[in-house]
């Protein structure tokens, strides 16, 4: 069973990358197998559920990967700084990629929100996992759970929207501006003294 080649993963990675830039309907299966260097027959071997199953797993996968990135950045500093860093990092990556690599699932999320419930749910799960990650960072820092939920939602929403604007306007200013303001909002949150540690 280590005999399983990495074809399946290559397929998922190619799918995730193309979805990030072109969305769900804009990406054809032909393009995926072409980009991911996988043969046609393999696709329906690994994903008998077709495009939808492939998409669901790709979403899940890139969601986890992005979550790890988020955790890393948040672990590097206190939440306000971490959030600011995350926005800044995203701005850099976005610009470096020619404004192509934004949130890996935002486009798919919007496209599928009212089409296929399976994919909508997959995107929802990803967003929930990101929110949970932020909430943990905030509560660890002393923010009250009730407040932390709202703040995390706000931060994520702002990040998504700022990325959207940055991609469309082709300028990083929305990401930097919103990063700063979101960091301030977090910094202003009432919190009980973080014990000590």
Partner DNA sequence: ACGGTCGGGACAGCCCGTTGAT
Partner DNA sequence: ATCAACGGGCTGTCCCGACCGT
- In the complex, the residues that contact a copy of itself under the rule CB under 8 A are 21-26, 98-100, 102, 106-107, 109-111, 113-115, 120, 123-124, 127-128, 150-151, 153-154, 156-165, 167-170, 173-174, 177-178, 180-181, 184-185
Burial class (CB in 10 A: 0-12, 13-18, 19+), 175: buried
Tokens 């469309």 belong to 168
Q: Toward DNA, which CB reaches closer, 50 or 194?
A: 50
Q: Toward DNA, which CB reaches closer, 33 or 151?
A: 33
Tokens 């996968």 belong to 61
CB of 136 to DNA, least distance (A): 35
The mark string for 25-54 relative to DNA (x by CB under 7 A, - otherwise) is --xxxxx------xxxxxxxxx-x-xxx--
> 20, 94 in Cβ contact below 8 A?
no
CB of 73 to DNA, least distance (A): 34
- Please give the Cα distance from 178 to 181 (Å, whole number): 5
CB of 197 to a copy of itself, least distance (A): 28
CB of 30 to a copy of itself, least distance (A): 11
Q: Name which of residues 52 to 91 contact DNA (CB under 7 A).
A: 52
Interacting residue ranges for DNA, rule: CB under 7 A = 1, 3-5, 7-8, 27-31, 38-46, 48, 50-52
């Amino acid at each position: 069973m280590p005999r399983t080649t990495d074809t399946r993963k290559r397929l998922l990675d190619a799918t995730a990358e193309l979805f990030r830039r072109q969305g769900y309907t804009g990406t054809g299966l032909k393009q995926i197998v072409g980009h991911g260097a996988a043969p046609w027959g393999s696709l329906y071997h690994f994903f008998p559920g077709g495009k939808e199953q492939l998409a669901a797993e790709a979403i899940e996968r890139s969601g986890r990967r992005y979550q790890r990135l988020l955790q890393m950045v948040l672990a590097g500093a206190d939440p306000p700084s971490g959030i600011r860093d995350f926005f800044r990092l995203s701005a850099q990556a976005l610009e470096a990629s020619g404004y192509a690599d934004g949130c890996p699932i935002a486009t798919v999320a919007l496209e599928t929100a009212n089409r296929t419930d399976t994919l909508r749910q997959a995107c929802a799960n990803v967003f929930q996992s990101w929110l949970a990650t932020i909430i943990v960072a905030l509560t660890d820092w002393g923010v009250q759970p009730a407040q932390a939920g709202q703040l995390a939602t706000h931060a994520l929403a702002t990040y998504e929207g700022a990325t959207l604007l940055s991609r469309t306007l082709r300028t990083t200013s929305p990401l930097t501006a919103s990063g700063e303001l979101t960091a301030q909002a977090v910094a202003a949150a009432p919190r009980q003294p973080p014990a000590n540690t």
